[in-house]
Structure formats: C-alpha cells, structure tokens
Amino acid sequence: MRTFALLVLAAISHVAQAQTFRSEEHSFTVTRVISGLAHPWSLAFLPDGRMLITERPGRLRIAKDGKLEPEPVSGLPTVTPQGQGGLMDVALHPNYAQNGLVYWSFAGRGADGVGTEVARGKLVGNRMEGAEVLFRQSPKGTTGRHFGSRLVFDRAGFLYITLGDRGEMERAQKPDDHAGSVIRLHDDGRVPKDNPFVGRPGWKPEKFTLGNRNLQGAALHPVTGALWTHEHGPQGGDEVNVIRAGVNYGWPVITYGVNYGTGTRIGEGTHKPGMAQPLHYWVPSIAPSGMAFYIGDKFPHWKGDLFIGGLNRWLVRLKLDGEKVLREERVLHGELGSIRDVRMGPDGSLYLLTDDPNGFLARLDPAN
C-alpha cells in the first residue's frame, strides 16, 4: 500500500498551487490535479499509480504522471449517452492484481430503449481486451433520467449494481423490473443462489432490494462490511440507507420529498409498515452523488466519517456512531461546483470529480 501511495503522489506532484479551507476538525487544501474532463463520472486507482476516469459522453481515460493520456481506452462496448446516462462507474475486481479485470457501467441500447449495463474486460496498454457485458437492465426505457449507477464489490466478492427508476417511479415497486433496485451478482454475472427473490414467481432473481429512486453513491462500511448507499429524492428527500437483502426502501410509496413545482405529496406519506426508513435524509435536497468512508491517516479526526458529494455544489461530512448520524458538516460550500464522485485515494487523500463540460479532479490534503 505504501508503494501504491508513493506512486500516486509522484504522479500528481507538479499540480497547481492549492487553495486552503477550514472545516470543523481539519484545515485542508484543495488542489486541482487534472483538468479538461468532459462530465467526469467516476475514478479508480490502478496499482501502478495510474488512474482510470470515466467521462459520461462515453470515454474511459487513463491519467498518468498527472496528465491524461491523449487517446481514450478502446475496446469498450458501445455507450449510448442519453440525458443523465452514458459511461458511468468504474471499479476494479478485488483480485485485480491477479486477474487484471476492470468493471464499468454504462447506458446501453436495446430493442426497448436505453438502460444501465455492466461490462468487464482486461486493460492491456490502452485497450480493453475481451470486453463482455455481464448485466443488462430489463426492461430498459425511453427517458434520459435515473440510470443509477454505482458498482461495489463486497468482502465475499459479490458485485452490487445500483439502479435508478429511469424516471418512471412506479417501476421501483415492480418485482419483474430491474429499475429502482440494487442488483447482486457473482463477479462473472451469475445470479447468487441466496439472492432474496430467487425462485419466487414473477421476480427478477438479480434483484437484492426494491423501492429505490436513483442511487448514485455506494460504499462498504469499513468496520461492518455492510453496503451503504444514498439516493436522490424528488424535491427533497435524498436518503442514506444501509442495504439489506429483500428490503423495500419505499419509493414512491413513502418519501420525505414532494413533487417538483407543486410541492404536493407523493405516495402515502413518510412511513409505512414493511418499508424501511432512511438512516439519514435531506430536506431540501443536496442532490447526492458519490460517497466514500474516510479510513486514512492524513485526517485523523475524520477517520470513520462518511463523505458525500452533492451536485448542488456541496461536500458533506457525516460523523457516525455505528448506524447513527451524530452530526453533519458542509465541508465545501460551492467552491468547486457540482461534485459527482468522492474517493479515498491509496495515499490517504480525498479525491473529488466535478460534473461539468470542463470538469476536473481535485485532491484534499491536510493544510500545513
């Protein structure tokens, strides 16, 4: 890990002068590491110090020595950018050092429209070899909204895929529809036999949950290994949830949000038996995207805290006690623009991607 961290630091040592900010528990600097990214969506750190960065229009980029390689990675299946969808998350297999497998989510076209798909391949030079699609959302859809989608491997090696309701809220409660749910698969795309709805007539066996609106943040808790997610509410009602097998998270039957424009109630209220309450929610909305638990040593008072990006230009820190949120801090207040992704680097720094036609990657370090 130390060698990995040194490689990352060396790769970005020449960047521009940093800005300094003060939070409740740490003063920190923000350094723009890489600029000129077209709506960047996600980031993964390779063991050799390089980074993989996705751009929503459909390009997978390699950053080396603090600079983008001029040509995107080739060999990916066709990406169909549509509204909020395009090339989205990227993740390394837990055994990447042995098998070299990279996974990515993207908007793919089918006979019934466009929906989230997940593929994997081996990165060889600047090309993805042997790319294969492991999952295709079904049904797809015709809107440009609510694709999800984050990819997380748990400690047992299962792959979780977060999906949005595709802008058609009623789909989140349908058993025969992938939309508005968390998907759980083996790393090769097979359905685990112990998925909660396997063998139930009329249910998609890949589904692990239902009743989710649009999950764009997911991370494993560093102590328990549980999958935590957040999802967009409508006008208000963004949620943080702990994901558990077979749970119905309520959308659109219950929500703390209201209809856009009119402010009228959605569904039946905020509570209903058999539907989970969020661990934390926001009214008004922060439009959450990207999340990471901080487990490094550079910011000792942040250890164990949950950091969440906001498309409404926030970086939010949640201080936790188990599954209880003790307090919330807005660490950044619009200084960087819309924050699409949050990652903790192998060097112990926090990394942020901004969602903009000329977006950038920024790094947070302790201020001297």
Active site residues per annotation = 146
d(CA 79, CA 186): 23
DSSP 248-310: B--TTTB-S-B-TTT--B-TTBS--TTSPPPSEEESS---EEEEEE---SSSGGGTT-EEEEE
Helices (H), the chain: 2-11, 96-99
Per-residue tokens: 111: 């006979």
Measuring CA to CA, which residue among 36, 65, 22 is closest to residue 354? Answer: 36
Angstrom CA distances, 63 to 13, 23, 116, stand at 13, 30, 25
Place of tokens 């299962």: 158
Residue 138, preceding peptide bond in cis (omega within 30° of 0): no
Q: Give the Cα separation of 61 and 79 in Å (integer).
A: 14
Residues 283 and 236: beta-carbon distance below 8 Å: yes
Q: Tokens for 201, please give them.
A: 């007539």
41 and 87 Cβ atoms separated by less than 8 Å: yes
Three-state secondary-structure class, residue 10: helix
C-alpha span between 318 and 337 (Å, rounded): 20
First to last CA, the chain: 24
Buried b (16+ CB within 10 A) or exposed e, 280-289: bbbeebbbbb
Residue 350: beta bridge partners? 344, 364
